[in-house]
Amino acid sequence: MSYADQRELGRGRIRFPDISPRAYEHPADRGALVALRAIPGFDTVLKAISGAIGERSIRLLYLASSVRVSPRQYPDLHQMINECATTLDLQPVPELYIQQDPQPNAMTIGLDKPIIVITTGMLKLVDTDGIRFVIGHEVGHVVSGHALYRTMLLQLVGIATQIQWLPIGAWGIRAIIAALMEWFRKSELSCDRAGLLCVQDPRAVLKVHASLAGALNPDEMDVAGFLDQAKDYQERGDVRDSVLKILQISGQTHPLAALRAAELQKWAAGLEYQEILAGNYPRRSEDKDAPLTDDVKAAAASYREDFKSSRDPLIKVVGTVSGVMGGVGGAAANRVRDWWQAGRGSEPPQDPDTPAADE
């Protein structure tokens, strides 16, 4: 299919047949999910949660307490979710519900058949393109299969508050919750990219992030200046500020707004996004042949690049110490290897900087 053929009639937006979530998923998202699944007891807890929660319960709750989007109820939103699902080649189209809540929020929950929920606060906060981005973001969660883990996180948070009097059980669940939150923050970066693929206007997405941070009317402000805040946050401060940043993100399910905006705009300006728009992206039909080790390697490369480019003083200290320790460890390993290959006919070599033991 040519570039021109991929454009939606009269709308100028490109569709992505058979697109794999690997095309837009942040490498740290996939890597964190691999690490999450490796946590002892994770599979057991996942099966228990899956068995305890029924699709019927979730759907019945929102069917009775929210407005289900349809051609008769919120017809514009009904058309929009169908367009986003078509753009990311998702079938069947998930049900969309509007919940009465002044807090701007959106989520995808469920097990086998996820549903999308958007609050009235979100509808009032952003414009039409902003809503398209929000819906596309949630559709991305469905395509990536995130809804199961999101539902699990919500249930575990509720369980943890009820068993705090059981120290061992509580700590075990808290460890899984912490890992889930770390993964979910990364998954939000992935689905921001999915939302951008549905809107295909980086500036419209930047306005959404600015609005979520506090911009009442982003059309009347220099939203590009919002990105300067992220740069200022990342580059200023000493080690004490680095520790405070770690504490600030602890327990959060979403990345901080300015940093999240900067991350997406960086991707939008890169070659990967342009390649997807041109039709060069991984296909879902090829997912079964994609080795899992690629996800781990991509995640490691992503963290390594962030580590190298970071101006955070704590990161620099850790990097220096790691480099020194790695050099010392490597030299020691080489000496032991040489001794072993020589036949071990003498005492193992001693590090010249290590004082000899007393006779």
CA–CA dist 314, 267 (Å, integer): 25
The C-alpha atoms of residue 140 and residue 94 are separated, in whole angstroms, by 11
Sign of CA dihedral 111, 114, 118, 119: negative
What CA–CA distances, in Å, run from 212 to 55, 71, 104, 196, 252?
30, 28, 8, 16, 15
Question: What token pair was written down for 59?
Answer: 């759907």
Task: Give buried/exposed letters for 43-53 (b at 16+ CB in 10 A, else e).
Answer: eebbeebeeeb
Q: pTM to 2 decimals?
A: 0.72
Question: Which residues, other chains included, contact 311 with Cβ-Cβ below 8 Å and sequence gap of 6+?
Answer: 234, 235
Which residue carries 């009465």 as its tokens?
Answer: 100
Q: Which parts of the chain have pLDDT scores under 70? A: 1-11, 33-39, 41-55, 153-180, 236-255, 290-359
Distance of CA 91 to the CA centre of its chain: 22
Dihedral of alpha carbons 226, 228, 229, 233, sign: positive
Rounded to 5 degrees, what angle do the CA atoms 88, 89, 90 make?
Answer: 95
C-beta neighbour count of 178 within 10 angstroms: 13
- Cα–Cα distance measured from residue 200 to residue 186, given in angstroms and rounded to the nearest whole number: 21
| Contact in structure between 105 and 84 (CB atoms under 8 Å) | no
pLDDT for the residue 230:
80
- DSSP at 102: S
**Are 78 and 68 in contact, with CB atoms under 8 Å apart?**
no
Q: Annotate 184-196 with three-state secondary structure.
A: HHHHHHHHHHHHH
Give the C-alpha distances (Å, rounded to integers) separating 95 from 14, 82, 184, 198, 301: 23, 10, 22, 18, 37
At residue 239, the pLDDT reads: 52
67, β-bridge pairs = 98
